[in-house]
Chain A
Amino acid sequence: MAIILKKRGSPYGIKVPENKFSEKQKIKVMPLPERLVIPLQQNIGAPCQSLVKKGERVLAGQKIGDSDKFVSAPIHATTSGEVTGTTTVVNPPTGALVEAIVIAPDGEDKWVELEAVTDWEKLDVKDILGRIREAGLVGMGGATFPTHIKLAPPKGKEIDTVILNGCECEPYVTADHRLMLEAGEAVLSGLAIISKVLVPKQVFIAIEDNKEDAIEHIAKLIKKAGYDFQVAPLKSKYPMGAEKTLIDLILHREVPIGGLPLEVGVVVQNVSTAKAVHDAVIEGKPLIERVVTVTGEVKKPQNLLVRFGVPIGKLIEHCGGMKPRANKVILGGPMMGITQFELDFPVIKGTNSLLITRSTTIEERDCISCGKCIEVCPMRLMPTLLARNAKTGNYDICKENYIDDCFECGSCTYTCPANIPIVQYIKVAKKELMKRAKK
C-alpha cells in the first residue's frame, strides 16, 4: 500500500497569495509575561466555573476551571503562580463577555505531578477519553469543539474514516506545518490513539502540496513506525482544509447540509489536536500551550510555543513589534480571522495565528452579477443571491437557498470585484435566522 496517495485538487476555492513567511522558522518558546489572563471559556459549549480563589497559589497544569455540562472542557493554570483576581474578556468568535482568571507567574514554572503512562495500548477507550477530557482538549483548528465528545460518536454512527487535517490552507499561518516537521512522531502517536478509540477502516493525513517537506517527513515517519496511515497530498487552494472539502475530495462523500462529518462516517482532527492527544494520554499533560504563528507586518515573523493567557501584545513585542503603518491585528488567518481592538486579549486554545496587517479602505459597489463568487464557493452556493437577500432582509429566501451550508470561508468576498462583504451579510442573516428559530 502506497503511503503517499495521488495528489488531488479541487475545482472550487481560490488561489491566494500564501505569504508563509515563517515556514522556515523553528518553533521557539515564548517567555512568560508578568501577568496571565486565562478565560474560563475557550471552547464551543458551556463556560467553566472557577475552582480557585483570589490569593491562591496554583501550579502549572492544575485545573482551575471546570463544568458539569456535557459539552465542556476544563481549564488549567498554564504556569505556577498566584491567582490575583478575575477579569472579563471578549470571546472573539461569539463576541460574548467571558470571565477570566488572572495569574501572576512566580517564574518557577512548577508543574503538578503528571500521570504518565508507559503502555497506552493497555488503556481502554473509556480511560483514554477520560484522560483527554481531564486534559481539557478541544479542536485546535479553530472550531474548539471538545475532543472527548468528538471522539465518542453517538450509538449507531459508525466511523469508518479518520482524516488528520494538516492542510493549513489559511495564508500566512505555519503553526501546523512546523508542528508536523518538529513533532511529527507525537502527532502520529496521537493519531494512533485516536484510531484506537474510533477503530476506523482507513486513516488519512491531508497535507497541502505547499508543504512538500511535511508530506515527505510524515510519510517517512509512518513507514518507520509501521502505522497503517496514508498521506493524501492536496493541491494548495483555499479553503482546502475545510472538513467538508476534505471529505468530498478524499472520499467523494457529501456531508448532509447542516450535518456533521460523523453522519457520513468520518471524523476530522487537526494535527495540533493529535499532538495534544499524545501529550494528554501518554504524558498525562493537560493542554496549556500551543504553537502560534506571529506574522505579517511584524519585524520577525515566528512560530512560538505559547502558554495560554499570554496577551497578544506581548507576542507582537517579542517578534520585534509592529512595522510602521501596520494597523490591524487579527486572531487567526487573513481569511477567517477576527480583528482585535485591544492588545491585551490572551492566546487561548483556538489561537493558531496572530496576523498583523496594514488595512486599506475600499467602498462597496453594486453587484454586477459576474458570477465569480459562485465559481469559487466550495459549498457550491450562490453567494451573490444570499448577500442580496440578506441585505434586503429576505432571510427566508436565504434559508431556501441553503444559507446554512455556508461555513463562512470568505472566498466569495475575496474574489468579489464589487468588494461586497458577502460573508458579513451572510453572517448577519444566519444570526437573524437563528434568533427566529429560537422563538
Chain B
Amino acid sequence: MTQADTPGTQPELNPEANPAEPPPEVSSMGELLVSPGPHLWRGLSVNRIMYLVVAALLFPSGAAVYFFGLRALAVIGVSIGFSILTEYACKRLRNRPFIMDGSAIVTGLLLALVLPPTIPLWMVALGAIFAIGIAKEAFGGLGHNIFNPALAGRAILAVSFSIEMTTWTAPAGFGIDAVTTATPLGESFVWTGSQTALYHAMFFGNTGGSLGETSALMILIGGGFLIGMRIINWRIPTIYIGVVALMALGMGEDPLFHILAGGLMIGAFFMATDYVTSPLTNRGKIIFAVALGVLTMMIRRFGGMPEGVCYSILFMNAITPLIDRYTKTRPYGVIKKKKVAASAS
C-alpha cells in the first residue's frame, strides 16, 4: 500500500452500486484524486534527514582533512564510493529499486571517520562492502538492519587487520610525512606537555586517532546542529557521555580525559543515535545510553582493548529489540481501567 494518490481510483465502495446521478455541473477540473488522510505531510523525509546528517558530518570530516591531509580525503572518498556502489549492486541483486536516499553516504562517511588515516585503501573498500552488503542489505536494507553498518564495518576490519587498524599517525596536515604515534588511550601514549595543553589538543583534534574522532569541537558542532534541528534526541549523547564521566570519576580516573579521548564523542553523537539501531521510546533511549556508558568504561578499564565505544554500541544494538519490548509507552486511559477493574472485583 502506498499513500500515493492514484488518479481516478475509487474508494473501497463499488461505484457501480451507485445509481447514475446527473453529472456534477462543476466537473471541468477533470478527475478528482481520492486518498486516505491526513492530507498534509510535514515533509521531513528520510532523504532530508540523511542529508542533514551528512551536513553535520562535514564538520568532523573537515577536521579530518585539516589534520590528516589528502590521505583523509582519499579514505573518505573510497569509503563513500564503495558504500554507494555496494548498495546499488545489492538492490540490483535483490531486484529492489535503488533509491539515492543518502543513507549509503552516511554509512560511508561514518565508516571513514572511524578508521585510522594510514589504512590501505583496499581495506577501506572492503570495510564499506561489508558494512553495506552484510550489515545493512543482507538484513533487508535501511530500517531492517540490527547493527550500525559503519561500526560493523569497522569491527570486521579491526578483527581482520589488527595491525593496520591500530597504526596511528600524528596529525600533519598537508605535505609533511606522517609520523607514527599512539592515541591518548593507547598504553604507549606519552604526553610531555602540560595537562591543559593535552585537553586543548584533544578538544581541537591535534592528537593521533581515527580520522573524525580527534576533534571534539567539530563533533560537538555537528551533533549540536542535529540536536537543534531535532533530528537526533539529546538524551542518548548527553546521558552516554555523562555516565562515562561519572564512571571515570568513580574509578579514580580523569573524566575529562575519558570524554575527549577515543571515539566516545563521535560514537555518542553519530553512532548511538542511529534511529534504526537504537530504542524507540525515551525510556528505552535512557536505558540504552546508561548501558553504553557503563560498557564503554568497563572495556576501557578492564578489557583487553584500549577503546570500547565501537563494541559497546554494537552490543547494545543487539539488545535494542529487547529494550523496545520492555519500554513501551503507557497509553492514555490504560492504567485507569485496571484500577477500575480491580476496585470492581
Q: Does A pair with B? A: yes
Binding site for B on A (CB under 8 A): 14, 16-17, 87-88, 90, 95-97, 171, 244, 248, 254-257, 259, 311, 313-314, 316-317, 321-322, 326-330, 334-344, 355, 357, 359-371, 374, 377-382, 384-385, 391, 401-402, 405, 410, 413-415, 417-421, 423-425, 427
- Knowing that A361-B5, A414-B38 touch, tell me 4 more A-B residue pairs with CB under 8 angstroms: A326-B29, A380-B329, A419-B3, A419-B41
Q: A339-B32, A374-B281 are in contact. Are A244 and B38 (CB under 8 A)?
A: no
5 contacts between A and B (CB under 8 A): A90-B13, A254-B336, A357-B39, A368-B49, A369-B276
- B173 adjacent to chain A (CB < 8 Å): no
Asked if B332 and A405 make an inter-chain contact with CB atoms under 8 angstroms apart, the answer reads yes
Chain B interface mostly:
loop
User: Which residue on chain B has the smallest CB distance to residue A381?
Assistant: B331
Q: Which chain B positions have C-beta within 8 A of A405?
A: 331-334
A418 CA to B275 CA, complexed, in Å:
12
Which residues 290-333 of B have a CB within 8 angstroms of A? 328-333
- Cβ of B163 within 8 Å of any chain A Cβ, yes or no, is no
A328 touching B337, Cβ below 8 Å? no
Contacts of B132-154 to chain A: CB distance below 8 A: 140-144
Interface presence of B190 (CB below 8 A): no
**How distant is the Cα of A83 from the Cα of B84 in the complex, in angstroms?**
68
Main secondary structure of the interface of A (DSSP, over half): loop
Cα distance, A317 to B233, chains bound together (Å): 48
Q: Bin the interface of chain B by size.
A: 35 or more
CB distance from B242 to the nearest CB of A (A): 21
Q: Tell which of A327, A344, A365 touches B30, judged by Cβ atoms closer than 8 Å.
A: A327
B residues in contact with A415, CB < 8 Å: 42, 44
Closest to A256 in B: B337
Chain B residue nearest in CB terms to A317:
B26
Most chain A beta-carbon contacts within 10 A, residue among B22, B101, B280: B280
B31 interface residue, CB < 8 Å from A? yes
State in angstroms the CA–CA spacing of A340 and B18 once bound together: 14
The answer to whether A311 touches B24 (Cβ under 8 A) is: yes
**Chain B residues, CB < 8 A from A380:** 329-332
B342 within 8 A of A: no
Known contacts A339-B39, A365-B46, A367-B143, A317 near B25 by CB under 8 Å: yes
Residue of B nearest to A425 (CB): B1
Minimum C-beta distance from A23 to chain B (A): 18
Residues of B within 8 A of A413 (CB): 3, 37-38, 41
Q: Which of A16, A337, A365, A381 contacts B329 (CB 8 A)?
A: A381
